Amino acid sequence: MTLVPMEERHLAALAQIEKACFHAPWSADMLREELGKGIFLVAEQDGAAAGYVGCQTVLDEGYITNVAVSPDCRRQGIGRALIAELAERAKRAGLAFVTLEVRASNTPAIALYEGAGFKPVGVRKNFYTAPSEDAVLMTLYLKE
C-alpha cells in the first residue's frame, strides 16, 4: 500500500468508493473542488485507489470531511494508515488539532479514531439523516 496526495486520476475511483460507503456520497466533481486544498490522501494498492481521507484546513485547524475505504479492502489497516499519515502531515503543517464527526452507531470507526488518539468532545444531535442519528464529535489535539 502506498499513500499519496489525491490527484485528478483518483477522482472516478474515489467517487465509486464514496457511493459504496455513504448515503450522501461526494461526486467526482465535489472531490475535484478539493484538489490542492487541505490534506487529501489516497491509499493505493497495486496502482488502484483503495481508500482515502480528506481534511479541510482553516488557519491551524483541521476538519476531516471523509474517511472511506472500499468494502473489498477493509480490515487491512488502510483506514488506520490513512489516519496516522494525516495526523503526521497535520502536525508537520502546524495544525493545533484535527476534528471529525462520526455516527454514534459506527463503533468500528469510533474505535479506529480512538486508537489514533482522538477523544470524544461532544455530540451533534440529529446530525445525520437516513436514518436520523447523532454524531459524536472527536478531536485529536496536536499541540499542548
Crossing angle of helices 107-115 and 78-92, rounded to 10°: 40
In whole angstroms, how far apart are CA 29 and each of 8, 10, 66, 123?
Answer: 10, 12, 15, 30
Question: Cα separations (Å) of 42 from 112, 126, 135?
Answer: 17, 30, 25
The residue annotated as part of the active site, out of 18, 34, 52, 113, is 113
Look at strands 48-58 and 61-69 and give their pairing. antiparallel
Taking CA atoms, 52 is separated from 19, 66, 79, in Å, by: 13, 8, 8
Instruction: Compute the distance between CA of residue 41 and CA of residue 66 in angstroms, rounded to an integer.
Output: 10
Is there a cis peptide before residue 131, judged by omega within 30 degrees of 0? yes
Is 63 one of the catalytic residues?
Answer: no
Residue 52 catalytic?
A: no
Query: Active-site residue among 61, 101, 114, 144?
Result: 101
Active-site positions?
A: 101, 113
